[in-house]
Amino acid sequence: MKKIIIILSSIVVIIFIILMIFLFNTNSKNKDIDNVKDKETTEKVKEKEDNEFSKLSYYKKENLDRYKAYKTINPDLSIEDIVTRVNLNLDKEIYTDTRPSTNLNTNYLLVNKFNYLDSNYIPENLELLNNSYAKSGIYLVKEAKDNIERLIDKAKNDGMNIRVISAYRSYSYQENLYNNYVKNDGVENADTYSARPGYSEHQTGLVVDVTRAFDDFNNFENTNEYNWMLENAHNYGFILRYPKDKEDITTYSFEAWHYRYVGVELAQKIKASNLTFDEYYVRYLESNNN
C-alpha cells in the first residue's frame, strides 16, 4: 500500500511539473503576442503622428514618399490636394507610368493621360443621334444619348439652340486627329488640347462636344447657351469636363464645349463639390469601384 501511495504521489508531482511548464510556455507565448500587438499598435500610432496624410480615406501607404516630396515642392497646397494629385500621378510626366482604365462600360470610367483604353475598345450600346440634335454620323452610349436629347429639348424650350458636333470617336479616328495636330503644332502644344490615341474620353462614348447651332465651337464660351449649360447640364447627367482654372488637374486647356456624361446623381454631386471628375474619382469613386 505504501508503494502505491509513493507511486501515486510521484505521478501527481510529475503532472504538476508538466502543468507548470505548460502554463509557463503559454504565458510566454501570450506575452510575446501581446508584445507584438503592442509594437504594431505603437508603430501605427507613430505612423499617424508622423504622417499627416494617413487620415484621408484615399491615402495610399505606398505613395507616402511621393506625398512628402510633392508637399516639399508645393508647400501651399492642402493635404487633400497633395494626396489627390499624387494619386492622379500628377507628380509625374504625362503619359508616363500609365495603366489600363478600369470600370469599362460604366458611367464612372476614368480616361486621362495616365489611364488608357485599348485600341480595340468599343463601348457597348452605341446609338446614332438624330440629325435634329447633332450633325450626321454622331454616336453615343444609349443612356448618354437619351439624356443629351432631353437636355437639348429643354434648352430649346428655354430659347437656347444647342447642337452636338462630336461624340464617340474610335481609336483610329483619334490617332489621325492627334497626328494632324502634332504635324501642325508639335507634340508639346498638341498635348495641351488633344488626347493621344487610347487616352481620349471620346472613345468612351460618354462625351459630347456641343456648340450653339451652326456657330463655331471656339466661340461657345461667349454664348447664352454656354451659361445655360453651366446651370443645367448636371441635371441631365453631364459635367463640364475641362473647366477653367483647373488645367493643372485635368492637364488640358479649358474647353467650354466638352461635356462628359456620368449619370444624373453623380453629376449633381460633382457639380456641388466643385471638383473635376479626376479629383472626385480619386477621392470618392476609386476605392469603391476598383
Asked if 286 and 58 count as a contact pair (C-beta separation under 8 A), the reply is yes
Using DSSP's 3-state secondary structure scheme, residue 290 falls into coil
Q: Mind telling me the catalytic residues?
A: 255
CB neighbours of 91 closer than 8 A, spacing ≥ 6? 66, 69, 70, 85
Residue 91 to residue 82: CA distance in whole angstroms:
9
- In this structure, the number of other CB atoms found within 10 A of the CB of residue 82 comes to 25
Asked if 194 and 177 count as a contact pair (C-beta separation under 8 A), the reply is yes
Classify each residue of 183-214 as buried b or exposed e, where b means 16 or more C-beta atoms within 10 Å of its C-beta: eeeeeeebbeebbbbbbbbbbbbbbbbbbbee
Asked if 84 and 70 count as a contact pair (C-beta separation under 8 A), the reply is no
- In this structure, the number of other CB atoms found within 10 A of the CB of residue 70 comes to 19
Residue 156 to residue 206: CA distance in whole angstroms:
22
